[in-house]
Structure 1
Amino acid sequence: MGHVFHKLYDIDMIFLRFFTVYGPGQRPDLAIHKFTRMIDHDLPLPFFGDGTTSRDYTYIDDIIDGVVKAIAYVETHQIYDIFNLGESTPITLSKMVQTIENHLGKKAVLNHLPMQSGDVDITYADITKARTILKYQPKMSFDQGIASFIAWYRHVKELGIYE
């Protein structure tokens, strides 16, 4: 539909695909927030499969940077295009849990379960086009991003939010 509007009405547009966005303010039902809360409260963590499934976790500030770059680009170019915004570095389920454990200073209580039907082994963004055209470059490492998230989590916990 966007392509049709671009061709018929000369409307320039960029579509952005975000890959597993996380960071301060993340919804409490999403994996990193949910797992942090469960580990913090010594609750059994549902651990599907052998821990090798991987996702491309992207820190919120990197997503915002990509959005700003896309807006600036579409304002100065005739374009219809789709860009992936991600880290382009898949993180395994095991690595995600270990990183949260390290920053919380607590071990997870794992409830090992079989892989969920329909779950995919790996997802990650090919950001080559976004790097080339938009000059998008994620800056926050997963470890730094989790440290930032945990600091925020502890702050809102002290305030009595989400607990």
Structure 2
Amino acid sequence: MKILVTGAAGFIGYHTSQRLILAGHQVVGLDNINNYYAPSLKLDRLAQLGINTKNLAYGKLETSNTHQDNFTFIKLNLEDREAVPALFEEFKFDVVCHLAAQAGVRYSLENPESYIDSNLVGFLTILEGCRKHNIKHLVYASSSSVYGMNTKIPFSTEDRTDHPVSLYAATKKSNELMAHTYTHLYKFSTTGLRFFTVYGPWGRPDMAIYLFTDAIAKNKPIKVFNHGKMERDFTYIDDIVEGVTRIVTTPKEQATHKVYNIGNNSAQQLGTFIQEIEKNMEKEAQKEWLPIQPGDVERTWADGSALEQDYNYKPDTSIQVGVKKFVDWFKAYYKL
């Protein structure tokens, strides 16, 4: 198939593109390579996909012959209401995998405008592209943050999600509502994926595992919020990508709007996660105990039964395996 992957230079987008390329699909990757975190990491991910990145700072289109001539990368802002429609017109996609977004809960307190531009205006341009070019299936990234202060554990897609506690979460919930509306009005399938605390090699530098590992390596204290009383459904990147690619590559017989959790189906204490990092770094972390941050929630835990029922898939990588793989990559990438 010919598949558009937005956010292709991002953490999940890079891994998803790589998997689809290796499976023989023709992938067009889109990303604006913004400076939310170091663009060098994004460019290094693209280099892994065979892209010559030296001209990307100037907005030039780059194509690659890597993997049987089936990957093209385009530097573009999602909210560009002229360029995005032209992209759909040129490439005639079969499926769209929309993973691009302005990420981060805490950053949404500092720069709310970027979330509206990328996550709402950008999502609308993707929906319109799908509508006008007869795309049969749009798969898009949502987030476990939509559950807000939900106290029912584990989080089920049947639970109400109308009390988000960050602007980021509100934009992701808005995406689900927008997708539902477009499926209802224009009869193409949309599938939202609520990701739960994704980690692994090539991960984002603003994520806990990256911050902790980097601080330990530099003998600096790590910031442990809510005094360590946090639980997360840590989900390894390969498990996320397996779920995404199964859904993206499964033909849709009729137009439906579905939402699935993709998580490891267990809540792990933050302290246990830190211990695994310490073990693999062979060094104990200096800990700075801090109160919970605005927009954060104490616990996440995915009920993945719907994904297992519809796609016969259940993530199962343990944090012992996943953390080791991340730390091994981190040491190699920074030549420690």
When normalised by structure 1's length, the TM-score is 0.89
Instruction: Return the letter of the residue paired with 2:325.
Output: S
1:122 equivalenced with 2:294 (yes/no): no
Bigger relative CO (Cα 8 Å, ≥ 6 apart): 1
Instruction: Return the letter of the residue paired with 1:77.
Output: E
Shift of 1:151: 0.6
Gaps of 5+ in 2: 1-177
1:89 equivalenced with 2:266 (yes/no): yes
Change (3 A) 1:4 1:48: closer
Q: Is the 8 A contact 2:211 2:222 kept in 1?
A: no
Q: Which residue of 2 aligns with 1:13?
A: 190
- 1:1-150 correspondence runs (5 A): 1-73=178-250, 75-78=251-254, 79-150=256-327
Structure 2: distance between partners of 1:90 and 1:71: 27
Instruction: Return the letter of the residue paired with 1:49.
Output: N
Gaps of 5+ in 1: none
Question: What percentage of residue pairs aligned between the two structures are identical?
Answer: 37
Structure 2: distance between partners of 1:14 and 1:115: 32
Structure 2: distance between partners of 1:45 and 1:106: 13
Q: Is the 8 A contact 2:265 2:302 kept in 1?
A: yes
- Aligned-residue RMSD, C-alpha: 1.6
Structure 2: distance between partners of 1:156 and 1:100: 16
What CA deviation, in whole Å up to 9, does each residue of 1:10-35 have, x standing for no partner?
Answer: 20121111111110001112110110
Does the residue aligned with 2:301 lie in a helix, a strand or coil?
coil
Moved more, 47-56 or 129-138: 47-56
Shift of 1:56: 1.1
Shift of 1:62: 0.5
Instruction: Return the letter of the residue paired with 1:148.
Output: K
Q: Is the 8 A contact 1:15 1:81 kept in 2?
A: yes
Change (3 A) 1:49 1:12: closer
What CA deviation, in whole Å up to 9, does each residue of 1:131-152 have, x standing for no partner?
Answer: 1112221131111000000110
Shift of 1:118: 4.6
Structure 2: distance between partners of 1:151 and 1:62: 18
Q: Is the 8 A contact 1:69 1:135 kept in 2?
A: no
Instruction: Return the letter of the residue paired with 1:110.
Output: K
Structure 2: distance between partners of 1:118 and 1:28: 19
Structure 2: distance between partners of 1:3 and 1:51: 37
Shift of 1:77: 3.2
Structure 2: distance between partners of 1:156 and 1:97: 20
When normalised by structure 2's length, the TM-score is 0.45
Change (3 A) 1:118 1:76: closer
What CA deviation, in whole Å up to 9, does each residue of 1:71-97 have, x standing for no partner?
Answer: 133x13322201111112111111111
Structure 1: distance between partners of 2:232 and 2:199: 12
